[in-house]
Every structure is written in C-alpha cells, then in structure tokens.
Structure 1
Amino acid sequence: MSNTLDILIVGGGPIGLACGIEAKKAGLSYVIIEKGCLVNSLFNYPLHMTFFSTADRLEIGGYPFPSIHSKPNRMEALEYYRRVTDVSDLNIRLFEEVQSIKPGAEEVYSVSTAKGKYKARHIVIATGFYDIPNLLNIPGEDLPKVKHYYYDPHFFYKQKVLVVGANNSAADVALETWRRGAEVSMVIRQPELQSIKYWVKPDLQNRIDEGAIKAYFNANLTEVREQEVDLQTAEGKLTIENDYVMAMTGYQPNFSFLEKVGIELSDDALRHPTHNPETMETNMPRMYLAGVVCGGMDTRVWFIENSRVHAVKIVQHILEQAKVSS
C-alpha cells in the first residue's frame, strides 16, 4: 500500500490546485491530474478577458494575488496560478487525461490515465464545465464557421459576425469584434439585455441604440449556411449574410465522465451531481466534488471565489474520517 496516494485530484484548475495545497498542508500524499495545460479553462478564455471578481477573491492557498487593476485580466491570472503552483511545489501531471476510476479492494480506487495507473484512497473531481459547449442543435451548426470558443478579435476584421446569446461572453465578443472592424449582429432570445457585467452593459446597450451593433431581440438562430444564416424573429423568418457565427451559448460539465465513475445525477434539467454540501462527498464513498462542477447545468452558482472553501471541507472530512477509523 506504500504506493497508494491519500488523494488523487482530477483537474488542474484553480480549485484543483487549492485542493492540492490543502492536502499538502495536511501532510497527505496526493497528485493532481490535468488533461490540458495548467488552469486549462482559464488559458482558453478570451485573450483580453477581465474577471468580474477582484483579485483577492481569486486567491487560493492564502497566497496574495497582486494586480495593477481592480479586476485582474486573463494574463495576470495565468501568471498568478503558475507562481502559486511553483511556490507550493505542487505535485501535478499536465497533459494527462483520466480515463477511468474504479473502486477496488481495501477501500482503494484504481485510476487509469493516458500515461499510467494510480491507486488512491480518495478521489476529488474538480473538472469545471468549460470543455463541452451547449449546442443549438440546428442545421449547419457543424460548419467550421460556427465557433463556441472565442480568443482574439483581430481574426474577425471586416467579417460579418453573428453573436448568439446575451451573457457576459456574448457581450465581450460583440464589443471586441466590432471595435476591431467586424460587422456585428446579435441574436437574443430575451426581449432585452440580461445579466451582464455592470461596466459592460451600458457600452453594449449604447452600441445597439446607435445602430453600430444590430440586435435581434425575441429571436432565435434556426439555420446556418456557408454565406448566410436564418433567424426566427417576432416579425417572421429573416435571412442575413454571414461569415462567422459565435455561439456563446454556455458550457456544461462532462456528465458522461461523472456517470462513468458512478456519480448519480438529478433527473431534472439541471442534472445536479449528488453530493453532501457539508463534506462535498458524493454517493460514491471517498469520492468528492469541488468547484463549479457541483452545480451541474446551473453554471451561475459556483465560481472560484465561493468554491475555494470546497478544498478545505474535503481535506477536513478526510482527516476526520481517518481519526474515526484509527
């Protein structure tokens, strides 16, 4: 049993790192397994993204997050989490995807990855929800011109861009691509703009009011073709010319992975993973959830700032259980 870890953490995002820091503080053996680069979801955020949270709310492990802005940007966050990982000397394996987690004898889980095998008494799943986009399920969505991820606005210079959605991501995409010379339209299901960062919403509303960005409210995108798209509006069907569709429709956790490892999901549309909010333990004994994955499809509940505590809860529960069994 000497090669058996106390904790194996799936996911190297901020909350996965926080779990590693707490495990190390408690003297527990652990490893963090991340299928991509360090804080992979943050790396794939838009190039110029600014966080809604202030720097102090993004801190983990008690390490201060210095920022020259009141709200840090993507580059500052990447630098911060790299430094935290180095200073903490975290045991992390990058670009290694977990393929299976199976319960075995003596209350030990067997974990297989693309690069090796591990044994661990406890599993923490901190995989976030940024890997799988919510699809529109319309004709033409599989065309290369339809994108669910956005990085740099320069690419869309002098292109006709349709942005689907009215959340923070959609607002950022619309404004940034328009300012870099794109011809931007938005298709929005609601009758007006919804919850958008307070310093962004007036900017977008003003651009819509002046006609710089065309917004179709109470409307849906119904079909995508190579050079045009169809919208269903309150006035009827409308076809407009189009080069790219930015479908900012949100993302979801990897539910198939959660089910594969034995975690039960609620039967409703939100598909909440079963777990005890006091300990974060799931229906699978000694298997825990941490971070935004806890919310299922309700992706507006958990953020870095309010799920950092999950790491503390999990390690405390593991230590308490060890005392009981000893």
Structure 2
Amino acid sequence: MQKEEAIIIGAGPCGLAAAIELQRIGLNPLTIEKRNIVYSISQYPTYMQFFSTPDRLEIGDIPFTTASEKPSRLEALHYYRVAAQRHQIRVQAYETIKSIEREDDGFVVKGENRFGEPRSYFARYVIIATGYFDNPNVLGIPGEELDKVSHFFRESHPYVGMHVAIIGGSNSAIDAALELERVGAKVTVIYRGESYSSSIKPWVRPGFEKKVSQGLIQMRFSYTVTAIGNNDITIQGPEGVELIPNDFVLALTGFHPDRNFLTQTGVTMEAEGYPTFNETTMETNVPGIYLAGVVASRHEANEIFIESGRYHGNKIADHIMSKRD
C-alpha cells in the first residue's frame, strides 16, 4: 500500500490550488484525478469565455495573462496546465477513487485505474475536490433517456437547422442559445422562472433580449418540460400544455455533488443536500477529511466559484499546520 501524507481527489483548479498550498507547509500531496487535469473546463463549450477576469482565476502566484478582458476556455486550459507543471504537482490522472475508510491515524483510500486495476493508499489527510460536473441534475421525466437529450453543450455546429430546446435560464443556457441561433438552429429556451435570471452576464443579456424581441429565439418563461418524444416535447405553463417540434434537448439544469461517495466516507449531508463542513477550516464532520472547490459551494456550481474556491487550500493548509504544531 502506497503511503502519502495527504491525498487530494480531483485535479480541477481548486484541487491544484490546494496542492500548492500544502506544498508551502512542507507536504507533497498526491493529486488523483479520474480523467485529465481540469477536466470540467475541458468539457466547457469550445468557444466559451469566463465570467471572471483572469486575475480572479489565478493560483500559485502565477500571473494569468489573456488576449482579452475575459479569458477563454483554451486560455484557461493552458494556464492551469502550466501552473501544475511549474509547481511540479504530483498528478495521477485517469484513476478513480472508489472508497475512503478510516484506519488508525489516517485513511485507506482505494480506487482503480482506467484498466480496472486496483490501487490502494494510506493518507493522514484527504482533500475532496471532485466538483459537480459528473452529476447533472436530472429532470425525471419520460424521454430523458433518449439520445437526443444532453446535459452538456460543447459547440453549435451539430445542431445546424435543428429544432433545439434549451431547459434552464443560467449563463450556460443563454450562451448556448446565442451560439445555436448564430448557426441557424431554431431555438426555444424553456425556463421555470418568471423573468430573466439576475446572474446572466450583464454584457450578454441585452443581445439575448434583442434576439428574443426579434423572434430569432423563443423564450418561454414559467414553463417546464413534462415529456420528451422522438420528434417533439411537451411543455406546461401559464397557457396550459403544448406540444412543440423538437430534434434535440439541452437540459442545462445544473449539477450536484456525488452524495453517495461523500456519505460512504462518513460525511453527513445537510437538509438542502449539501455536505457538512466548517467554513473556516474546510474540514468536514470527519476529522482529517476536507472539502475544496465547487463541492463546497452549497448552491452555485459554476466557473465563478473558482474565484473563492481557490482559497480553500489556504484554509486547509492553515488547519493542518495547526494540528501539526
């Protein structure tokens, strides 16, 4: 069994930031990632731009310079890759952690690589920085299992000329609608809210509202999708039940933490469904197990959370240092 002082599960921006902070107190943590470094960002829409300015996404005292005011997905991938390399973070990619069990003065961490071969570690501290991206909020309606339904949007080209329904009213939904309209898709945005979300990027909303007023994008407030068929969807709202033509559905309804994995480690869940942790130290109700990044965001699970989640490593390092003292 491989012995480590600390293991970080997840090599997203906040997991990498935590690794750097642990290095600064003399630890050399092993970061285990079930896919590639900053996987969630690699899955963002191809031409996405962040809401945040680059300085608010920096980690490890490495400047994040960009060609424009808002960094792109490609620039972010390059930045975090370089940050990991410069700080010589030990990243073990394509390995999935299956369980964390208390043993003596630490934890036995078990997983497997992409070939199904078992891996086993012992660590005194475990930092869970797994994010939400693998756990979309499902609709729980008939037809959601169809191939035409996706909880992710990458790029608009595959949808040229298609009837596309977007479920949700967040930034991701608005950005997707604009990209799709530009390539000639027939877009309907279905949002259960009564008006536009206050979180929409202020420089994006006017252009989106103009497209709606021109009839180029259909916006259906206070509506929900109740069923998905091969060639149509059923929606329900203030004007009753409607059947509208549809080729593809993008259910951009957000994400949630892997509750089963967390509860199996002994981490309790609050009434709202979010894990229990101390906001000052980031330690969970299980001493020695910490949270970092979007898994500790409680309500908002998007790229903006990197701004504050990158500092979780500072809190964790300070707490571990106090224990060692």
Partner-residue secondary structure (3-state), 1:252: coil
* Contact 1:47/1:151 (8 A) holds in 2: yes
How far apart are the structure 2 equivalents of 1:298 and 1:153?
A: 25
Unpaired runs of at least 5, structure 1 = none
The equivalent residue for 2:211 is 207
From 230, 234, 254, the counterpart of 1:230: 234
Corresponding residue for residue 251 of structure 1: 255
Contact kept? 1:108, 1:122, Cα under 8 Å: yes
Conserved? CA contact 1:6–1:28, under 8 Å: yes
Identity %: 40
User: In 2, distance between residues paired with 1:84 and 1:298?
Assistant: 25
Alignment partner, residue 280 of structure 2: 278
Contact 2:106 2:288 in 1 (8 A): no
In structure 2, what is the equivalent of residue 62 of structure 1?
Answer: 61
Q: 1:155 to 1:300 in 2, by over 3 A?
A: closer
Distance between the aligned counterparts of 1:202 and 1:297, measured in 2? 26
Question: Runs of at least 4 residues of structure 1 off by over 2 A?
Answer: 295-302
Deviations 1:263-286 (A, max 9, x none): 00112xx22311111111111111
Is 1:108 the equivalent of 2:117?
Answer: no
Quick one: which of 177, 180, 184 aligns to 2:180? 177
Q: How many residues align?
A: 319
- Partner letter of residue 234 of structure 1? P
Match of residue 122 from structure 2: 119
TM-score scaled by length of structure 2 = 0.95
TM-score by length of 1: 0.95
Contact 1:253 1:297 in 2 (8 A): no
| Superposition CA RMSD, Å | 1.5
Contact between 1:59 and 1:65, CA under 8 Å: does it hold in 2? yes
For residue 15 of structure 1, give the secondary structure of its aligned residue in structure 2. helix
Deviations 1:190-214 (A, max 9, x none): 2221121111111111111110111
Please report how far the alpha carbon of residue 300 of structure 1 lies from its aligned counterpart in structure 2 after TM superposition.
Answer: 6.7
CA distance, structure 1, for counterparts of residue 12 and residue 57 of structure 2: 12
Question: Structure 1: how far apart are the matches of 2:80 and 2:143?
Answer: 38
Report how far residue 295 of structure 1 moved. 2.7
The answer for the alignment partner of 1:135 in structure 2 is: 138
Which residue in 2 is equivalent to 1:157? Answer: 160
**Cα distance change of structure 1 residues 163 and 15 upon mapping to structure 2, 3 Å threshold:** same
Residue equivalent to 2:224:
220
Shift of 1:11: 0.5
Cα-to-partner distance string for 1:231-261 (whole Å, 9 max, x where unaligned): 1121111111110011111111111111111
